[in-house]
């Protein structure tokens, strides 16, 4: 199987690719629609994930970029397209999950999309259309007050319906228990969301998608769970493969850039045992002095093997409240991109951990990285990757704000290439 995925943010792309690799299918992450470069990691099979920054842009722009990526993946001989969105269904009444799904479906002649945000490995489950986060309904979780996509409803069918003119329907958990053939018979038109509580449920959903793919135009959709199940189903019965080992990156400095306001990232900040330095967005708004201060700090410790961490002073949520979400995002993302460029190109930093989807996108863009090889996971959905910035190899761990255990910033280095 050559699975071509369109992801709506950078860390979601890495999440999917890391889990697919663990399931036995090689994967790469491409930043932006492929344009002439190699797409799939092998000539026979694999997963290529196009990482786009389209979760919170206008619905029109999101749809256009997704459709372009889908066309290019098909031109590279993808056998199945996959719409990757967040396991917490991050969106607004206007999108962008619905518009992106419509756009990808239109590329395949009005295909039906089938899938679920359920990812049991990350404690995301769905029952009777209700999405649960760590056992709590979505609208009662910390995502309720997300600054860009506040999730005030837990029912994914109700969340998706206003975003599309296509039909939105649900396959209930009781039907999933009847097996792939039964699920396939229930799939109608438009967008079909399926319940899922366990990895076995996701295997059933994946098998039903592959069955449908032989009969009609279909696109798989969801968080990383269904994509992982597709990889598991695809490699069943195939010859065993060696585990993916990234080439070693000579250690030359370690840096953590944390731009996420999520509860998980805040806990990781609290438990980090190394040096912590705080970036002041209000000072950033006044000029270059704040960046100069942090550059000086990083320069003074360039030969220190102990990781350093740069986080946002006062928390991202407060900054967004006082400066406005767009202004705050622009300041913080630009600053982290500049610090990453300075660390890698001027100081020779070899290993970076980046927390937050928007921050990760800014860092990768700032470094000019076009492609990542995906290796072992430091935590579920958080793989180490290898990219090249102006020819220099850089090990990157790009994590969603909500992912990883409390000690991730201390422990992730043990699995680094």
Interatomic CA distance for residues 47 and 43, integer angstroms: 11
Could you give the CA distance from residue 383 to residue 250 in angstroms, rounded to a whole number? Answer: 18
Q: What is the rounded CA–CA span in Å between residue 366 and residue 363?
A: 5
pLDDT for position 241: 58
Residue that wins the pLDDT comparison between 224 and 110: 224
Query: Residue 185's pLDDT is what?
Result: 97
Lowest mean pLDDT segment, chosen from 240-244, 295-299, 323-327: 240-244
Overall average pLDDT of the 400-413 stretch: 94
pLDDT of residue 320 exceeding 60: yes
Distance CA 25, CA 30 (A): 16
CA separation for the pair 70, 50 (Å, rounded): 9
Residue 183: the pLDDT is: 98
Pairing of strands 218-222, 80-84: parallel
Task: Say whether pLDDT at 364 is over 90.
Answer: yes
Residue 241 makes CB contacts below 8 A (sequence gap 6+) with 24, 26, 235
Report the residue count for the chain: 417
N-terminal to C-terminal alpha carbon distance within the chain? 27
* Phi, psi at 394, each rounded to 5°: -135, 130
Largest Cα–Cα separation, the chain: 64
Per-residue pLDDT tens over the stretch 201-255:
999 999 999 999 989 999 999 999 999 999 998 888 565 555 678 899 999 999 9
Which sign, positive or negative, has the C-alpha torsion 403, 407, 409, 411?
A: negative
Nearest to 98, CA basis, from 55, 144, 161, 16: 161
* Pairing, β 2-7 against β 80-84: parallel
Number of H helices, E strands in the chain: 15, 18
Strands 130-133, 27-31: pairing is: unpaired
Cis peptide bond N-terminal to 96, omega within 30 = yes
- Can you give the pLDDT at residue 32? 86
Q: What is the pLDDT of residue 93?
A: 93
Angle at 87 between CA 396 and CA 105, to 5 degrees: 100
Domains of the chain: 2-235 (3.40.50.10840), 254-415 (3.40.980.20)
| Buried-exposed string 334-349: b where 16+ CB fall within 10 A, e elsewhere | ebbbbbbbbbbeebeb
What pLDDT, on the 0 to 100 scale, is given for residue 45?
A: 82
Work out the angle at residue 321's Cα, subtended by the Cα atoms of residues 318 and 323, and round it to the nearest 5 degrees. 100
According to the model, what pLDDT value does residue 33 have?
82
pLDDT above 80 for 65: yes
pTM above 0.85, yes or no: yes
Q: What is the CA radius of gyration of the chain?
A: 20
DSSP 395-408: EEEEE-TT-S-TTH
Query: Given the structure tokens 């406005």, which residue do they identify?
Result: 324
């Amino acid at each position: 199987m050559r699975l071509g995925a369109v992801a709506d943010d950078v860390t979601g792309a890495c999440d999917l690719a890391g889990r697919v690799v663990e399931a036995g299918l090689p994967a790469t992450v491409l930043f932006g629609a492929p344009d002439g470069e190699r797409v799939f990691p092998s000539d026979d099979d694999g997963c290529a994930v196009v990482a786009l920054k389209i979760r919170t842009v206008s619905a029109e722009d999101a749809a256009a970029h997704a459709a372009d990526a889908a066309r290019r993946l098909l031109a590279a001989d993808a056998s199945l397209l996959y719409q990757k969105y967040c396991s917490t269904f991050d969106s607004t009444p206007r999108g962008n999950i619905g518009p992106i799904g419509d756009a990808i479906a239109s590329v395949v002649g009005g295909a039906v999309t089938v899938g679920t945000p359920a990812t049991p490995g990350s404690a995301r489950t769905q029952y009777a259309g209700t999405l649960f986060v760590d056992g709590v309904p979505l609208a009662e979780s910390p995502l309720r007050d997300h600054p860009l996509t506040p999730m005030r409803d837990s029912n994914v069918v109700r969340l998706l319906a206003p975003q599309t003119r296509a039909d939105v329907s649900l396959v209930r958990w009781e039907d999933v228990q009847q097996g792939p053939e039964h699920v396939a018979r229930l799939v109608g038109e438009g967008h079909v969301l399926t319940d899922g509580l366990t990895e076995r449920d996701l295997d059933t959903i994946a098998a039903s998608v592959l069955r449908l793919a032989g009969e009609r135009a279909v696109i798989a959709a969801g968080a990383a769970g269904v994509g992982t199940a597709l990889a598991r189903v695809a490699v069943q019965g195939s010859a065993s493969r060696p585990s993916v080992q990234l080439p070693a990156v000579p250690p030359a400095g370690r840096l953590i850039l944390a731009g996420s306001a999520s509860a998980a990232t805040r806990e990781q900040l609290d438990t980090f045992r190394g040096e912590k330095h705080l970036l002041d967005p209000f000072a950033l708004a006044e000029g270059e002095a704040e960046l100069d201060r942090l550059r000086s700090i990083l320069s003074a410790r360039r030969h220190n093997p102990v990781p350093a961490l740069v986080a946002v002073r006062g928390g991202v949520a407060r900054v967004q409240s006082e400066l406005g979400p767009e202004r705050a995002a622009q300041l913080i993302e630009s600053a982290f991109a500049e610090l990453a460029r300075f660390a890698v190109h001027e100081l020779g930093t070899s290993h970076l951990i980046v927390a937050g989807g928007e921050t990760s996108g800014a860092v990768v863009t700032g470094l000019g990285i076009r492609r990542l090889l995906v290796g072992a996971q430091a935590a579920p959905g958080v793989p180490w990757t290898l990219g090249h910035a102006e020819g220099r190899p850089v090990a990157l761990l790009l994590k969603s704000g909500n992912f990883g255990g409390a000690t991730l910033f201390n422990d992730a280095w043990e699995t680094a290439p």
